[in-house]
Amino acid sequence: MPLSPDQLAEIEAARANPLPTLRATSPGMEAHLYRAHQVLDHGFIRVVDYMGDDAAIVQAARVSYGAGTKHVQNDEGLIRYLMRHWHSTPFEMCEIKLHVKLPVFVARQWIRHRTANVNEYSARYSILDREFYIPAPEHLAAQSVVNNQGRGEVLTGAESARVLEMLKSDANRAYDHYEAMLSQNGQLGLARELARMNLPANIYTQWYWKVDLHNLFHFLRLRADEHAQYEIRVYAQAIADCVRDWVPLAYAAFEDYRMGGVTLSGKAIAVLKRRLAGEVVGQVDSGMSKGEWREFLEVWG
C-alpha cells in the first residue's frame, strides 16, 4: 500500500476546499489532483498541479500565426497540424507537476530527461523507508536473445523462486545494516550521506517532477514505448492516462503521430514506393542492413 492513512487524509483535505480561479481549468485534470495512482508494488504517481489546457495550446499558436489562423481551422485541426509539423512551442505552454514514488533504478533512467524540474527526497538529510521493489513473478524474465537490452522468456519454478528470495533477503539485510550503521544506541552513528551507500537500487525514493507538455510527450514517446523497460513504462502509462484527461485533443494527436507513428528513412521510402509499384524487394537490394531490414519488416511485413 503506497499511501499511509495520514497521507490519504492529507489528500482528502487538499481536495476538500476548491477555490475560485480565473485561470484556464481542465475538469478532467481536477478529478485527478492529488490522488495517487498506484504503480508497481509501492510506487505511485499523482498530479500536484497543472497549467493550461487544449485551449491554451491553441491560444499560443494563434499568437504566433496571427489572424491567418483564426477562421480556417478548428482547434482539433490546428493541434493536429502543430503536432504533424513539429511546431513544439505551443505545447510548451502547458505544464504539469507530479509527485512520484519510484525505485532508484527507475529514477536513474528518468532523470536523464534533462528539461524538467526536480526536487528529490534527500538521503543526506533524511532516512529512507524500508520499501523495496520486488518484481511480481510474471515480470521476472531472462535477457532477450534478439535484443541487446530487453527481456525474453519469463523465469519459472525454482529459478524464479531463487531470484525472488535473493532480492528480498538482500534488500532486508542491506536495510537492517543501514539502520544498524545509523544507530546511536551507544554509538556515534554513521552519517546518513554515507550509510545510504549500502542500499540497493530497488529501494524507493520520491520526488516532485515538473515538466512542460512538449517535453512530457517526448518522455512518454520513449518511456511508454514497448521497448522501454517495464518498470519505467508503467509509470509512463499511468502519467499518459492523466494527460489524456487533461488535454484530450493534444493527447489524441500525440497518439496518432508519435506513439502510433513511424519514421521512415530515405531508403525505406524508396523500398515502399517500389513495393507500391508492384516490385518485390528483398534485404539485399533494399540498401538496408540486416538490422534495419528486420525492423522494417516488423512494421510493413
Cell 513539429 belongs to which residue? 86
54-73: which residues touch a second copy (CB under 8 A)?
Answer: 56, 59-61, 63-69
Neighbours of 181 (CB within 10 A): 17
Q: How far is CA 243 from CA 19, 90, 103, in A?
A: 23, 16, 22
246 neighbors 96 (Cβ within 8 angstroms): yes
Q: Which stretch binds a second copy (CB under 8 A): 1-9, 38-46, 103-111, 239-247?
A: 103-111
Q: Which stretch binds a second copy (CB under 8 A): 2-10, 37-45, 125-133, 238-246?
A: 125-133
Q: Does 272 bind a second copy (CB under 8 A)?
A: yes
Q: Which of 39, 44, 52, 220 binds a second copy (CB under 8 A)?
A: 52
Q: Which stretch binds a second copy (CB under 8 A): 2-10, 37-45, 169-177, 243-251?
A: 169-177
Structural element, H or E, at residue 47: strand 43-51
Cβ within 8 Å of residue 281, ≥6 positions away = 271, 274, 275
What is the spatial distance between Cα 88 and Cα 84, in angstroms, rounded to a whole number? Answer: 10
Q: Does 280 bind a second copy (CB under 8 A)?
A: no
Residue 261 CB, nearest approach to a second copy (Å) = 5
**Residues comprising the chain, all counted:** 301
213 among annotated binding-site residues:
yes
Q: How far is CA 103 from CA 95, 146, 216, 224, in A?
A: 24, 27, 20, 17
Q: Does 263 bind a second copy (CB under 8 A)?
A: yes
80 among annotated binding-site residues:
no
Type of residue found at 153: E
Inter-axis angle of helices 75-84 and 54-65, to 10 degrees?
70
79 neighbors 180 (Cβ within 8 angstroms): no
| Catalytic residue flag (residue 223) | yes
Q: Does 159 bind a second copy (CB under 8 A)?
A: yes
Site mask for a second copy (CB under 8 A), range 4-23, x = bound: ----------xx-xxxxxxx
Residue 184 CB, nearest approach to a second copy (Å) = 8
The residue among 120 and 241 lying less far from a second copy, judged by its C-beta, is 120
Site mask for a second copy (CB under 8 A), range 210-249, x = bound: x-x---------x------x--------------------
Q: Which stretch binds a second copy (CB under 8 A): 1-9, 36-44, 45-53, 241-249?
A: 45-53
What contacts 24+ positions apart, CB below 8 Å, involve 220-228?
A: 220/254, 220/258, 220/259, 221/254, 221/258, 221/259, 223/109, 223/110, 224/259, 225/259, 227/147, 227/150
The binding site for FAD consists of 89, 112-114, 120, 212-214, 218
The binding site consists of 89, 109-114, 120-124, 196, 212-214, 218, 223
Q: Which residues are catalytic?
A: 223
